[in-house]
Amino acid sequence: MEEKFYSGFISIIGSPNVGKSTLLNALVGEKIAIISNKPQTTRNKIQAVLTKDNFQAVFMDTPGIHGEKHKLDRFMQKSVEAALTEIDIILYLIEPTLKLIKRETEIIEKLRSVKTPVFLVINKTDKLSEGAVYPIIEGYKSLFNFAEVINISALENKNLDKLLDAIKKYLPEGPEYFPDDYITDQPEKQIVSEIIREKALMLLRDEIPHGLAVEISLFKQRQGTDFIDIEAAIYCEKKSHKGIIIGKNGEMLKKIGTKARADIENLLGAKVNLQTWVKIKDNWRDNEYLLKNFGYDHRRIT
């Protein structure tokens, strides 16, 4: 008798900086989403696939839920709203704190309108005792009827097997939507641009990163070799920011490129010649044409 196969779509939602991208990467075992301790790191809805012997889980990482100041913010929140519909499971990720901030109550209000099973996933619990987590669980359970409550540490891979077991339990019978070796819907160029942005987020001051975007103008493998030439433009919104990104004698831009190239070579399995430039585009976060060029196109959200 043929074993049943289970498959479905799982959204990972939550406030900025709770570890959604770290969890996505840990679950599929590959670096798909970039990671930073700065808010608004994830801007697109990112899809990653985990295939096992008898189930396939399609995870969707979403931007952190926050207010809207720019058209880019509105694009990001549309990504979140889209991730709450036509899916099988919602993983609501939180940090282990007793203080329930306004944003969390707003997220719970959004969840009241969905019929999908919602898991409360408490991240960053590797340094906490079960006793310390219990009051947090009780506080959230008093506000919403969660299908499952699971404590994890995405960074330390703690209880991820328990989380996957629970996910499998709620997946419906279904087809294998993607081939076994399929990992993400993100084109290589898009992942490369995000890796460069990640390194900039890591190295630059707090006031700059929100106004950064990266556009790949050249992505070409040299004929007959495994060598790839990549040219990328880092866009910022102010002339003063351009100087900071380049740094004295070009040192900061060089650091960004060096760190990015190492990750890109690991991703592509090839040697990379990475060339980067810095350009200024005033208020690009409110320019629909530029948002589309940078990969933030609302028409791609389904």
pLDDT tier at 289, thresholds 50, 70, 90: low
294 vs 119, 148, 221, CA distance in Å?
33, 37, 22
Cα(104)–Cα(98) distance, integer angstroms: 12
Q: What tokens appear for 7 in the block?
A: 């498959």
The pLDDT of residue 229 is: 96
Residue 210 has pLDDT above 50, yes or no: yes
The pLDDT of residue 60 is: 85
The pLDDT of residue 169 is: 95
The alpha helices in 177-220, defined as continuous H runs, are: 188-203
Residue 247 has pLDDT above 50, yes or no: yes
Place of tokens 């279904």: 174
Cα(104)–Cα(144) distance, integer angstroms: 12
Report for 29-43, 72-86, 142-156: range of highest mean pLDDT:
142-156
The pLDDT of residue 276 is: 96
Give Cβ neighbours of residue 235 (< 8 Å, ≥ 6 apart). Answer: 212, 213, 214, 215, 278, 279, 280, 281, 284, 290, 294
HSE-CB at 265 with a 13 A cutoff on CA atoms is 13
Provide the whole-model pTM: 0.71
Work out the mean pLDDT of the chain and round it to a whole number.
82
Closest by alpha carbon to 91, among 30, 146, 29, 153? 146
**Strand-pair category, 46-51 with 55-61:** antiparallel
Report for 35-44, 88-97, 106-115, 285-294: range of highest mean pLDDT:
88-97
Instruction: Tell me the per-residue pLDDT of 165-206, one tens digit each, with 9 for 90 and over.
Output: 999 999 999 999 988 888 887 788 888 988 998 899 888 876
Q: What tokens appear for 242 in the block?
A: 């351009």
Question: What are the chain's domains?
Answer: 6-170 (3.40.50.300), 188-300 (3.30.300.20)
Cα(76)–Cα(112) distance, integer angstroms: 21
Scored b (16 or more CB within 10 A) or e, 214-234 reads: bbbeebeeeeeeeebebebbb
Closest by alpha carbon to 174, among 59, 55, 86? 55
Average pLDDT of span 90-105: 84
Task: Tell me what percent of the residues of the chain surpass a pLDDT of 70.
Answer: 78
pLDDT tier at 72, thresholds 50, 70, 90: very low
Instruction: Tell me the per-residue pLDDT of 134-143, one tens digit each, with 9 for 90 and over.
Output: 999 999 999 9
Give Cβ neighbours of residue 78 (< 8 Å, ≥ 6 apart). Answer: 298, 301
Residue 150 has pLDDT above 70, yes or no: yes
